[in-house]
Homo-oligomer: A and B are copies of this chain.
Amino acid sequence: MNKSKERILASAKELFHEYGFQQTSVDEILKKSGVTKSNFYYHFKSKEELGLIILQRFITIYESDVLIKTLGNKSLSPSGRLVEFYNSVKTFHINLENPRGCPFGNMAIEMSGSNENFREKLSAFFNSWEKIIEECINEGMNSGDFRGDLPPGVVAQLILSHLEGAIMMVKTHRSLEPLSSGSETIMRLLKAA
């Protein structure tokens, strides 16, 4: 059931990632999904509500499909997990014909200044993402995978900031190089002496 609603969600997810939330009009979502405007407003009370639902979907899928499968994969060593995480991010961006950037980073820059609902949700997600990285780093420091002379929280924050900036560069330069080279350098800098 609810075929229209699902089609709206699927189309909006694509369009928001490719063009951004503000640069995607409701009419474009309608056109892509083949749904009428009145039907749209039957399912969603506003474009903002749809945007927040899509953001939540991005978060949920990212947590289960990327974070848990890589950084949370206890069958790998901590440094192996981090490598897998980077691989998975690279694969995600390779598979798009044009780099679209990070769905979260894009939305953070686009919306943080103008909409507190988006900003708070994104801020909370970045925090939880950071915590997941931190746990991996912490374990790797204890196991000797990583150098232990830095607080793991600070390292995790650095990794996430760098990742977001690198994806921004991938989008701007239309090349994966900043991400692949940057992630390798991060791995080298974290290696135990």
Contact = CB atoms under 8 A, between A and B. Distances in A.
Interface residues of A, number: 47
Most buried by B among A112, A123, A182: A112
Contact of A189 (B106, B164, B189): B189
A19 interface: yes
16 contacts: A18-B113, A98-B113, A101-B112, A101-B113, A106-B109, A108-B172, A110-B110, A112-B171, A113-B171, A119-B172, A119-B174, A122-B172, A126-B173, A157-B169, A157-B181, A161-B168
Interface of A: 18-20, 22-23, 98, 100-101, 105-106, 108-110, 112-114, 119, 122-123, 126-127, 150, 154-155, 157-158, 160-166, 168-169, 171-174, 178, 181-182, 185-186, 188-189, 193
